[in-house]
């Protein structure tokens, strides 16, 4: 009975969206294959892995109906875990996302017009919710013989700008809930490889570099990173991390995991800091350094 009720709700939801000439984004069994690439231009840093994001059954949270969002890096999708919840308001053409135990935040606004400034969900906690997204252009793209509205969204981080595409009925070409950010030295970047609906390929962006729906390549580890004011190095066993401020000033250091959770922070009065990383789970981390003059530096580290 519960399954039949869910199907009826989804059918009514879709009909309501189509009646408003709006192509809905959220439907059960929709899947996005998102490539996480540490660096796609330097051969020694060819870290690439594909995450499968898939919508599951609906659930009620605080009186609102959401679809569960599952994630896995397994090509067969045999070990998926719930990472959040999505809901769509067809009247306002807005899509909202909430992580587990967090309040919902705006993810997309497909009713926004050129010049509108939006404040949307930022996956990483070191990017504030007050970061502005400005709609700079609106056009359309043909998918399966149907025209889908496409918005160019410009984001400004650390006084640098970067644009990404929002496509009605598809999401972001970087991959649903992910965005690359400007000003992140050596930062991880994201690409939507393929989108499926009801198990069938619905949309595949025409990237020059990538042509497969699932890519998995693990390159060499990062040993040394040089930024304008800092030199970062790791020992051969990746059990410690050394940070040196070339200006001789004190600084603060923070480590975030791939979910944006802060796992380490410290402030040193010296120009050099050694971090014991033996107890950290192996994987990719975001290192944020804040100097005494309030300048921020961000890079990715593999432990």
- Has residue 5 got a pLDDT over 80? no
Q: Is 164 helix (H, G, I), strand (E, B) or coil?
A: strand
Q: What is the pLDDT of residue 227?
A: 64
pLDDT in tens, 134-190: 999 999 999 999 999 999 999 988 778 889 999 999 999 988 998 777 665 556 788
What CATH code is carried by the domain that includes residue 298? 2.60.40.3080
Handedness of CA 260, 265, 271, 276 (dihedral sign): negative
**Among 196, 208, 286, 210, residue whose Cα is nearest residue 241:** 286
Give the domain range for residue 235: 224-302
* 132 compared with 123, residue with greater pLDDT: 132
> Based on the domain organization, do 171 and 289 belong to the same domain?
no
Q: What is the pLDDT of residue 221?
A: 47
* 179 compared with 61, residue with greater pLDDT: 61
The domain boundary residue, chosen from 203, 233, 257 = 203
- Has residue 15 got a pLDDT over 80? no
Q: What is the pLDDT of residue 46?
A: 54
- Note whether 223 and 301 are within 8 A (CB): no
Q: What is the pLDDT of residue 42?
A: 44
Q: What's the burial of 238, exposed, middle or buried (CB within 10 Å: 0-12/13-18/19+)?
A: middle
> Based on the domain organization, do 199 and 230 belong to the same domain?
no
Q: What is the pLDDT of residue 24?
A: 93
Q: What is the pLDDT of residue 173?
A: 92
Among the residue ranges 51-55, 199-203, 221-225, the one predicted with the least confidence is: 221-225
pLDDT in tens, 205-243: 998 888 899 988 755 445 556 666 788 887 766 678 888
DSSP 8-state code for residue 217:
B
- Note whether 84 and 97 are within 8 A (CB): yes
State both tokens at 218.
């693990």
Judge whether 168 lies within some domain: yes
> Based on the domain organization, do 147 and 236 belong to the same domain?
no
The domain boundary residue, chosen from 173, 203, 233 = 203
State both tokens at 22.
């709006």
> Based on the domain organization, do 151 and 269 belong to the same domain?
no
Q: Show the DSSP H helices in the chain as ranges.
A: 2-19
End-to-end CA distance of the chain: 48
Instruction: Calculate the average pLDDT of the chain.
Output: 82
pLDDT in tens, 113-130: 999 999 999 887 778 778
118 vs 103: CA distance, rounded Å: 17
32 vs 180: CA distance, rounded Å: 17
């Amino acid at each position: 009975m519960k399954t039949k009720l869910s199907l009826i709700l989804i059918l009514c939801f879709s009909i309501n969206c189509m009646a408003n000439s709006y192509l809905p984004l959220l439907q059960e069994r929709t899947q996005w294959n998102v490539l996480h690439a540490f660096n796609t231009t330097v051969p020694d840093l060819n870290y690439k892995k594909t995450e499968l994001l898939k919508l599951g059954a609906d659930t009620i949270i605080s009186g609102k109906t959401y679809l569960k969002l599952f994630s896995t890096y397994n090509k067969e999708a045999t070990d998926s875990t719930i990472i959040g919840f999505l809901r769509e308001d067809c009247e306002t053409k807005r899509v909202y996302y909430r992580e587990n135990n967090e309040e919902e935040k705006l993810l997309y606004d497909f009713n926004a017009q050129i010049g509108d400034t939006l404040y949307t969900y930022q996956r990483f906690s070191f990017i504030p919710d007050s970061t502005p997204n400005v709609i700079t252009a609106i056009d359309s793209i043909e998918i399966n013989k149907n025209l889908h509205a496409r918005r160019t969204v410009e984001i400004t981080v650390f006084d640098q700008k970067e644009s990404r595409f929002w496509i009605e009925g598809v999401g972001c070409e970087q991959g649903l809930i992910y965005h690359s950010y400007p000003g992140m030295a050596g930062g991880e970047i994201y690409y939507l490889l393929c989108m499926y609906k009801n198990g069938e390929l619905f949309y595949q962006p025409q990237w020059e570099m990538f042509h497969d729906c699932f890519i998995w390549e693990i390159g060499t580890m990062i040993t040394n990173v040089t930024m304008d004011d800092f030199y970062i190095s790791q020992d051969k066993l990746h059990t410690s991390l050394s940070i040196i401020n070339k200006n001789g000033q004190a600084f603060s250091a923070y480590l975030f995991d791939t979910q944006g959770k802060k796992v380490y922070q410290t402030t040193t009065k010296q120009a050099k800091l050694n971090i014991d990383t033996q107890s950290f789970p192996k994987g990719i981390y975001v290192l944020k350094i804040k100097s005494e003059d309030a300048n921020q530096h961000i890079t990715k580290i593999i432990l």
